[in-house]
Amino acid sequence: MKRFGLSFASWFEKYTFILIPGSLVIGWFLSDLLLPFVSSIPYLFGYITLVMALGCGVSHLRAVMKQPLPVLWTLLLAHAAAPLLAYGLGAAVFGSQSEYTTGLVLFTIIPLGVSSVLWVGSSGGSVPFILSVVVLDTLLSPLIVPALMEILLGRDSLSLDMKAIMVDLLQMVVLPTVVGVLLYELSKGRAKEWSAPVAQPLSKIAFMLVVMLNAAAIAPHAASMKQEMVRIVPTVILLICICYALGYYGSYVLPSRNRMQQVTQTYASGMRNISLGMVLATAYFSPQASVPVVLSIMFQQPVATIVHALFSKFNSEHITFVKGRD
């Protein structure tokens, strides 16, 4: 059982770029069957967050806070520069008052994606740094998300219940994160290893279910948007690429810049917690605003694969160059 659970989790991570878009398609086509289960999304997401937090302790957060400049710069790129660019892009393509523009902005202000930890590790970045920043950003999300939506788009135009959003984020994100960190501390860092054979595969399944159910929730409205897809899809892909580029070129500003920092910041800026974005989009925004967020899950992982290939190629060329000089 232990070997099967870990093997399944490893297999899922390897084929995430296929499985997650596939889950999205299944959710659309089986919408009628899945709609009754949409109310379970917050609980599934809370479990995913809990499992993620099991790998992070107070010592990790403390170590990251000792280097506040990279942390602050990472969050500014992800939640200040990217939302402004998303708003500008959306306003240019759809208009400043468009619900699609709202969706593009929402994509950029949701917390950093936990899947970035996997890509940072496989590309030679700093896993402790990205894991700690993801946890910190997740804890701050009840403040960051409502505040940025109000600043960039205005509360009156959205008619959102900001208090309800904050409460939902506290329940779905902050509470499970705090519990996960506490379990890490109480187990002296062994909780993740102990629970991995069961917790990891279940979290992957929960992730797929969250994607399916959110897709099912907007499927009834998707038919009326077919003509808009010609503009929406390229815009979403462009925004995702912009977010990755922000992290990569933004790392040049840091005085302590190195390849590890470049890799880490590229994924930190480029990847978002799409499952949380989908939950918020379908719960508080119009179907039109949800579409860019839902579509982004189809392209975020494939673009991450391309970025990984580019980093691998650059690294191999750099090693060859260094050996040639020797």
Q: For residues 280 and 300, give the distance between their C-alpha atoms in angstroms, rounded to a whole number.
A: 18
Q: For residues 9 and 197, give the distance between their C-alpha atoms in angstroms, rounded to a whole number.
A: 8
SS3 147: helix
Residue 324: inside a domain: no
Q: What single letter denotes the amino acid at residue 292?
A: P
pLDDT digits (tens, 9 = 90+) for 189-210: 888 889 988 998 998 898 888 8
Residue 63: inside a domain: yes
Structure-model confidence comparison of residues 323 and 160, the more confident one: 160
Cα of 264 vs its chain's centroid, Å? 14
Residue found by looking up tokens 């205005």 in the block: 154
- CB contact set of 158 (below 8 Å; sequence gap of 6+): 102, 149, 285
Residue 141: inside a domain: yes
The count of domains in the chain is: 1
Residue 322: inside a domain: no
Tell me which residue of 247, 246, 225 sits closest to 295, measured CA to CA: 225
Residue 227: inside a domain: yes
Copy the structure tokens of residue 98. Answer: 């468009």
State percent of the chain over pLDDT 70: 88
Q: For residues 205 and 238, give the distance between their C-alpha atoms in angstroms, rounded to a whole number.
A: 29
The angle that helices 41-53 and 175-186 make with each other, rounded to 10 degrees, is 30
The whole-number pLDDT of residue 238 equals 95
Q: What single letter denotes the amino acid at residue 298?
A: M
Residue 30: inside a domain: yes
Residue 325: inside a domain: no
Task: Evaluate if residue 315 carries a pLDDT over 90.
Answer: no
Predicted TM-score (pTM) of this structure: 0.74
Q: Is 198 exposed, middle or buried (0-12, 13-18, 19+ CB in 10 A)?
A: middle
Neighbours of 91 (CB within 10 A): 15
* Span of 87-91, 177-181, 254-258, 269-273 with lowest mean pLDDT: 254-258
Q: CA dist 296 to 101, 123, 211, 263, Å?
A: 14, 22, 11, 21
Residues 142, 280 contacting (CB under 8 angstroms): no
Provide the domain limits for residue 261: 2-315
Task: Evaluate if residue 92 carries a pLDDT over 90.
Answer: yes
Q: What single letter denotes the amino acid at residue 268?
A: A
State percent of the chain over pLDDT 90: 16
The CATH number of residue 87's host domain is 1.20.1530.20
Task: Evaluate if residue 320 carries a pLDDT over 60.
Answer: no
pLDDT digits (tens, 9 = 90+) for 94-119: 998 898 999 999 899 888 877 787 67
Copy the structure tokens of residue 127. Answer: 């896993």
Residue 326: inside a domain: no
